[in-house]
């Protein structure tokens, strides 16, 4: 059976649908009538405060200025971090067996994911 068939067939119910329906029935049975109390309380609450439109760009600009200031104040540290990152990536050996192993692992994980997704319960 294809996954789309499972979604369209009304006779097969999923276990989570059953649990959600049972929870909804339990919640409906536990409902207490409040004679409009909740609506009155929500209507009496003050409007939410909206942030000014300039706030987000200002925060981004301030963080950008802070990062730029750190980069200018400590150029050797930043340059050293970039060099070490490059050295780490450039020193990794790339070989045909290594690439074949990585491809094999990716193929195995894809197969497992496909099997779990397409299994018929």
Q: What is the pLDDT of residue 4?
A: 46
Tell me the pTM: 0.32
Give me 85's structure tokens: 């990152």
Query: What residue segments make up the domains of the chain, in order of their start?
Result: 12-47+63-113
In percent, the amount of the chain with pLDDT more than 90 equals 35
C-alpha R_g of the chain = 29
The lowest-confidence range among 26-35, 90-99, 110-119 is: 26-35
Confidence of residue 2 (pLDDT cuts 50, 70, 90): very low
CB 118 within 8 A of CB 3: yes
């Amino acid at each position: 059976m294809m996954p789309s068939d499972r979604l369209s067939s009304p006779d097969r119910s999923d276990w989570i649908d059953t649990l959600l329906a049972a929870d909804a029935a339990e919640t409906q049975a536990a409902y207490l009538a409040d004679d409009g109390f909740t609506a009155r309380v929500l209507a009496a609450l003050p409007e939410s405060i909206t942030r000014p439109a300039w706030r987000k760009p200002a925060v981004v600009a301030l963080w950008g200025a802070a990062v730029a200031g750190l980069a200018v104040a400590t150029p050797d540290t930043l340059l050293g971090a970039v060099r070490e990152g490059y050295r780490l990536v450039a020193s990794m050996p790339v070989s045909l067996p290594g690439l074949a192993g990585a491809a094999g692992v990716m193929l195995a994980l894809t197969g497992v994911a496909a099997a779990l997704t397409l299994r018929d319960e």
